[in-house]
């Protein structure tokens, strides 16, 4: 690129950055899980560039890696950071919780936008009852730390669950939590309701398909056109399994007495590769699942039970992670290879595509549109 073109490009990128904030308020956009169980990932600053070019501005981490949070300072990216399960016991101690929040969150604000802390991941679906008993106390003391720092309105506190905490998920209206988890879930829900924080669930229609490929319709799990399912109790029609799973969680929460808690998807995705017995793991299915999901996110769709609440989703994951244990699928959920090339194309084309789709459905200034087009032509 010539020097002039590069200067123009830099200038236009700055303008883009400003317009990015406008685009952002037009829709929630795709969130992405940035897992780092790998030894070959690009540096956080390269990742920041990749995400900026794709216009992805919602990222979820499993820890609070200071290198990542630093690399995204003054970016438009909004972060969910995590407290690992191994720290839960310590976090029940209010002094340690306060120290953690100061060191991992406060230090980065406001340069890096951290809007949520997940305390523990899939604790209730494991079999460590001691860990389960630490969960709410740990969430509580992190929340209290935020309150004492005056940050509780800017940063939510929650935890992420596996869908297997449900005993029942179909039809969605009969969604119910496992009875043996009630003693943990009831007080947790009461706390969510009190502090107005969202309930996060990791939901993988892929698992349902893999376990039962002869009975579960592939089109239904991949958001392709299909005859769908009707919930006999509500008469609501479901054309895909993910929405049915989300509504099953809403029903389970309602069964515990709450209608005031928002459900969000902290993980969903589809592997592009798997072991021979992992039916359905292929680049084609992964592309269709994530591509169709992206389209629905862009449309701001809600589920049949909550049509006015746009689905809020973090896809798993940004990169293939070569050091993840377990079956081959575990290492192949990424949208990108570690070298930054896409594993498949889901139609994330960055600003231009974003602008065109936004200008179709929303009002967009003529100037903004021209800047986007020009930047696209000059920067490529």
Residues recognised as catalytic = 122, 267
Q: Tell me: does residue 126 bind ligand NAG (CB under 6 A).
A: yes
Other CB atoms closer than 10 Å to residue 152's CB: what's the count? 18
**Shortest separation between residue 197's beta carbon and ligand NAG, angstroms:** 5
Helix (H) or strand (E) holding 354: helix 351-361
Cα–Cα nearest to 293, from 358, 239, 332: 239
212 in contact with ligand NAG (CB under 6 A) = no
Identify the residue among 6, 99, 362, 377 touching ligand NAG (CB under 6 A).
362
Question: Cα–chain-centroid distance for residue 341?
Answer: 21
Contact 206, 280 (CB under 8 A): yes
How far apart are CB 179 and ligand NAG at their closest, in Å? Answer: 18
Binding mask 254-283 for ligand NAG (x = CB under 6 A): --------x---------------------
Angle between helices 351-361 and 366-379 (to 10 degrees): 160
Taking CB under 6 A as the criterion, the residue among 40, 95, 103, 115 binding ligand NAG is 115
Of 72, 79, 87, 209, the residue at the interface with ligand NAG (CB under 6 A) is: 87
Binding flag, residue 215, ligand NAG (CB under 6 A): no
With beta carbons less than 8 A apart as the criterion, state whether 256 and 177 touch: yes
Give me 193's structure tokens: 């309701």
Residue 302 interacts with ligand NAG (CB under 6 A): yes or no: no
Query: Contact at 8 Å (CB) between 322 and 41?
Result: no
**Residue 179 binds ligand NAG, judged by CB under 6 A:** no
- Cβ of residue 211: shortest distance to ligand NAG, in angstroms? 16
Q: Considering the complex, what minimum distance in angstroms separates the CB of residue 98 from ligand NAG? A: 13
How many residues bind ligand NAG, per CB under 6 A? Answer: 15
Q: Does 39 bind ligand NAG (CB under 6 A)?
A: no
What the block records as the tokens of 285 is: 């299915």
Smallest distance from the beta carbon of 34 to ligand NAG, in angstroms? 18
127 or 179: whose CB is closer to ligand NAG? 127
Please report whether residue 92 would count as binding ligand NAG according to CB under 6 A.
no
Q: With residue 229 as reference, give the H or E element that holds it.
A: strand 229-230
CA distance 26 to 205: 28
Query: Residue 344 half-sphere exposure, CB side, CA atoms within 13 Å?
Result: 19
Pick from 196, 233, 367, 370 the residue near ligand NAG by CB under 6 A: 196
Nearer to ligand NAG, 341 or 363 (CB): 363
| Contact criterion met (CB below 8 Å) for 210 and 204 | no
Q: What is the DSSP letter of 319?
A: B
Q: Which residues make up the interface to ligand NAG (CB under 6 A)?
A: 86-87, 90, 115-116, 126-127, 154, 156, 196-198, 262, 362-363
């Amino acid at each position: 690129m010539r020097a002039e073109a590069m200067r123009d490009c830099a200038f236009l990128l700055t303008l883009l950055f400003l317009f990015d904030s406008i685009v952002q308020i037009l829709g929630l956009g795709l969130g992405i899980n940035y897992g780092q169980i790998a030894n070959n990932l690009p540096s956080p600053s390269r990742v920041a560039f990749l995400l900026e070019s794709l216009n992805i501005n919602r990222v979820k981490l499993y820890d609070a890696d200071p290198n990542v949070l630093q690399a995204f300072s003054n970016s438009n990216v909004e972060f969910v950071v995590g407290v690992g399960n191994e720290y839960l016991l310590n976090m029940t101690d209010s002094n340690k919780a306060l120290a953690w929040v100061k060191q991992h969150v406060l230090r980065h604000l406001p340069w890096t936008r951290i809007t949520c802390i997940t305390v523990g991941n899939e604790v209730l679906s494991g079999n460590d009852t001691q860990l389960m008993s630490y969960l709410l106390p740990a969430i509580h003391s992190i929340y209290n730390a935020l309150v004492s720092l005056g940050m509780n309105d800017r940063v939510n506190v929650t935890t992420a669950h596996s869908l297997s905490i449900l005993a029942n998920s179909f039809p969605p209206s009969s969604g119910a939590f496992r009875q043996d988890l009630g003693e943990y879930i009831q007080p947790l829900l009461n706390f969510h309701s009190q502090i107005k924080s969202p309930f996060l669930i990791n939901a993988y229609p892929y698992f349902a398909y893999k376990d039962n490929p002869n009975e579960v319709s592939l089109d239904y799990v991949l958001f392709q056109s299909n005859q769908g399912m009707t919930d006999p109790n509500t008469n609501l029609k479901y054309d895909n399994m993910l929405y049915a799973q989300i509504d099953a969680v809403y029903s389970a929460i309602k069964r515990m007495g709450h209608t005031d808690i928002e459900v969000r998807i902290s993980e969903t995705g589809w592997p592009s590769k798997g072991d021979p017995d992992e039916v359905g793991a292929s680049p084609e299915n992964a592309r269709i699942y994530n591509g169709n999901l992206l389209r629905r996110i862009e449309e701001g769709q809600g589920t049949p039970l909550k049509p006015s609440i746009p689905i809020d989703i973090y896809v798993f994951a940004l990169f293939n992670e070569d050091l993840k244990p377990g079956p081959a699928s575990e290492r192949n959920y990424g949208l990108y290879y570690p070298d930054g090339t896409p594993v498949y194309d889901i139609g994330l084309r960055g600003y231009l595509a974003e602008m065109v789709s936004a200008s179709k459905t929303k009002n967009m200034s003529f100037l903004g549109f021209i800047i986007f087009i020009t930047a696209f032509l000059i920067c490529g």
